[in-house]
Amino acid sequence: MYAIIETGGKQYKVTENDIIKVEKLNAETGSDFEFTRVLMVNKDGEIVTGTPYIENAKVVGEILETKKDKKVIVFKFKRRKNYKRKKGHRQFYTKLKIKDIIA
Protein backbone atom coordinates (compact mmCIF):
# COMPACT_ATOMS: atom_id res chain seq x y z
CA MET A 1 0.00 0.00 0.00
CA TYR A 2 1.32 3.41 -0.95
CA ALA A 3 0.02 6.95 -1.29
CA ILE A 4 0.99 10.12 -3.10
CA ILE A 5 0.78 13.24 -0.91
CA GLU A 6 1.35 16.91 -1.57
CA THR A 7 3.22 19.21 0.81
CA GLY A 8 5.39 22.26 0.30
CA GLY A 9 4.45 22.46 -3.38
CA LYS A 10 5.93 19.02 -4.05
CA GLN A 11 4.52 15.51 -4.35
CA TYR A 12 5.90 12.48 -2.50
CA LYS A 13 5.23 8.76 -2.93
CA VAL A 14 5.13 7.25 0.56
CA THR A 15 4.61 3.86 2.13
CA GLU A 16 4.43 2.90 5.80
CA ASN A 17 7.74 3.17 7.70
CA ASP A 18 9.29 5.44 5.02
CA ILE A 19 11.54 8.26 6.18
CA ILE A 20 11.24 11.38 4.00
CA LYS A 21 12.57 14.94 3.98
CA VAL A 22 9.99 17.66 3.27
CA GLU A 23 9.86 21.44 3.45
CA LYS A 24 9.81 22.79 7.02
CA LEU A 25 6.60 22.04 8.94
CA ASN A 26 5.50 24.08 11.94
CA ALA A 27 5.26 21.29 14.51
CA GLU A 28 7.38 20.03 17.37
CA THR A 29 9.80 17.12 17.23
CA GLY A 30 8.18 13.86 18.33
CA SER A 31 4.64 14.95 17.53
CA ASP A 32 2.38 13.46 14.87
CA PHE A 33 1.50 15.36 11.71
CA GLU A 34 -1.44 14.58 9.41
CA PHE A 35 -1.30 15.14 5.66
CA THR A 36 -4.83 15.63 4.31
CA ARG A 37 -3.76 16.48 0.76
CA VAL A 38 -3.71 12.90 -0.50
CA LEU A 39 -3.74 12.69 -4.31
CA MET A 40 -3.74 8.93 -4.83
CA VAL A 41 -3.84 5.70 -2.83
CA ASN A 42 -2.92 2.22 -4.07
CA LYS A 43 -4.40 -0.39 -1.74
CA ASP A 44 -3.79 -4.00 -2.79
CA GLY A 45 -3.74 -3.08 -6.49
CA GLU A 46 -6.91 -0.98 -6.26
CA ILE A 47 -6.08 2.61 -7.22
CA VAL A 48 -8.16 5.49 -5.84
CA THR A 49 -7.55 8.99 -7.20
CA GLY A 50 -8.95 12.29 -6.05
CA THR A 51 -10.19 15.38 -7.85
CA PRO A 52 -7.71 16.80 -6.83
CA TYR A 53 -7.67 15.32 -3.30
CA ILE A 54 -9.29 12.22 -1.82
CA GLU A 55 -11.92 13.04 0.81
CA ASN A 56 -11.50 11.41 4.26
CA ALA A 57 -8.01 10.15 3.37
CA LYS A 58 -4.96 11.07 5.39
CA VAL A 59 -1.37 10.07 5.97
CA VAL A 60 0.01 10.24 9.51
CA GLY A 61 3.71 10.81 10.12
CA GLU A 62 5.90 11.32 13.17
CA ILE A 63 8.31 14.25 13.08
CA LEU A 64 11.85 13.08 13.76
CA GLU A 65 13.78 16.36 13.42
CA THR A 66 13.84 19.83 11.89
CA LYS A 67 17.23 21.01 10.66
CA LYS A 68 19.01 23.00 8.01
CA ASP A 69 20.03 21.20 4.83
CA LYS A 70 23.44 21.31 3.14
CA LYS A 71 24.64 24.65 1.83
CA VAL A 72 23.80 25.53 -1.77
CA ILE A 73 26.26 27.91 -3.43
CA VAL A 74 24.85 30.56 -5.79
CA PHE A 75 27.58 32.03 -8.00
CA LYS A 76 26.98 34.73 -10.62
CA PHE A 77 29.55 36.20 -12.96
CA LYS A 78 29.85 38.09 -16.20
CA ARG A 79 32.91 37.32 -18.24
CA ARG A 80 35.45 40.08 -18.93
CA LYS A 81 33.50 42.57 -16.76
CA ASN A 82 35.08 41.81 -13.34
CA TYR A 83 31.63 40.98 -11.94
CA LYS A 84 31.41 38.09 -9.46
CA ARG A 85 28.92 37.41 -6.67
CA LYS A 86 28.98 34.39 -4.38
CA LYS A 87 26.17 33.60 -1.94
CA GLY A 88 25.28 30.57 0.14
CA HIS A 89 21.87 29.37 1.28
CA ARG A 90 20.75 26.69 3.73
CA GLN A 91 17.11 25.61 3.52
CA PHE A 92 15.22 24.27 6.54
CA TYR A 93 13.72 20.79 6.21
CA THR A 94 11.69 18.40 8.35
CA LYS A 95 12.51 14.71 8.50
CA LEU A 96 9.57 12.45 9.28
CA LYS A 97 8.60 8.81 9.45
CA ILE A 98 5.31 7.69 7.90
CA LYS A 99 3.27 5.76 10.47
CA ASP A 100 -0.07 5.09 8.83
CA ILE A 101 -2.04 5.56 5.60
CA ILE A 102 -5.79 5.90 6.12
CA ALA A 103 -8.00 5.74 3.02
pLDDT in tens, 8-31: 999 999 999 999 999 999 999 999
Distance CA 93, CA 99 (A): 19
Domain limits of the chain?
Answer: 2-66+96-102
Q: What's the distance, CA 51 to chain centroid? A: 21
Distance (Å, whole) CA 14 – CA 20: 8
Encode pLDDT of 57-96 as tens digits.
Answer: 999 999 999 999 999 999 999 999 999 999 999 999 999 9
Checking if the pLDDT of 56 tops 90, the result is yes
Predicted confidence at residue 103, as pLDDT, reads 84
pLDDT score, position 60: 97
E strands in 1-103 = 2-7, 10-15, 19-23, 32-35, 38-43, 46-49, 58-68, 72-78, 83-89, 92-102
**Is residue 3 over pLDDT 90?**
yes
